[in-house]
Amino acid sequence: MMLSDREIKQYVEKYKMIEPFEDIRLIKLDKQISWGVSSYGYDLRLSNEFLVPKEDLSIVVDPKNFDISKFEKIKADNYTIEPNNFVLAKSLEYFRIPRDILVVVFGKSTYARCGLIVNITPLEPEWEGYITIAIINPLNHKIKIYANEGIAQAVFLKAENLCDVSYKDKQGKYQAQKDITPAR
């Protein structure tokens, strides 16, 4: 079962599931990419922190041996991703996922129509933290992204039966992340 806007609000009140939470249905300001609760989801925002690979063609991004020294942390209101490159970022919102919920996150259509790929793995039951977001530009032209505006939509799936082992139970390595967290 998928949570409706009403149920998402109830979970936010009971579990502080999303902080800060925008109760107004999809905030749309002039020339900004929308965010906030939607009919069956929540459009989360991009923070103003980006982890950017340094310009070095010899860099090998290895998930088993992630070399953070090959990346630069940038704070900005927007960032332009070079062609055939990516950036790591984080959500503006902090999430606390209840034990009976699994969250699947999809990139917003505004960015998809520009060719941008937003990659976020599922948020498992009892995971919490800021979401680390991989933003990929697979094209041959630059793409601009904007902090403090919508980047992706979270869809909340409610289980009929509780899982035996949650992310918290197995002491997952990305639990309660506060910063952009590279592969560990």
* Closest C-alpha to 128, from 164, 91, 74: 91
Question: Does any domain span residue 65?
Answer: no
In a domain? residue 114: yes
Residue 154 lies in a domain: yes
Question: What's the token pair of residue 6?
Answer: 């009403």
How does residue 56 score in pLDDT terms, banded at 50, 70 and 90? confident
Answer yes or no: is 175 within a domain: no
Residue with tokens 């790929």: 117
With respect to residue 168, please indicate whether it lies within any of the assigned structural domains.
Answer: no
CA atoms within 13 A on the CB side of 128: 13
Residue 37 has pLDDT above 80, yes or no: yes
Q: Tens digits of per-residue pLDDT, 59-71?
A: 888 999 999 999 9
Residue 98, pLDDT > 90, answer yes
Choose among 124, 132, 134, 118: nearest CA to 96: 124
Q: What's this model's pTM, rounded to 2 decimal places?
A: 0.94
Q: Which pLDDT does position 25 carry in this prediction?
A: 60
Total domains, the chain: 1
What pLDDT is stored for residue 28 in this prediction?
A: 67
Is residue 24 assigned to a domain? Answer: yes
Per-residue model confidence as pLDDT tens digits over 5-18: 999 999 999 999 99
Name the DSSP class of 4: P
Note the residue count of the chain: 184
Residue 181 within a domain: no
Whichever domain contains 107, its CATH number is: 2.70.40.10
- Chain segment 15-33, per-residue pLDDT in tens: 999 999 998 766 667 788 9
DSSP-based three-state secondary structure for 67: coil
pLDDT of residue 26: 60
pLDDT at residue 92 in the model: 98
How far apart, in Å, do the first and last CA atoms of the chain sit? 32
Question: How far is residue 98's CA from residue 118's CA, in Å, rounded to a whole number?
Answer: 24
Does residue 87 sit within a domain?
Answer: yes
Query: Could you read off the pLDDT of 118-160 as tens digits, one per residue?
Result: 999 999 999 999 999 999 999 999 999 999 999 999 999 999 9
Stretch 70-95: mean pLDDT: 97
Query: 106 is in which domain, residue-wise?
Result: 5-53+70-158
Q: Is 107 left (phi over 0), alpha (psi -120 to 50) or beta?
A: beta
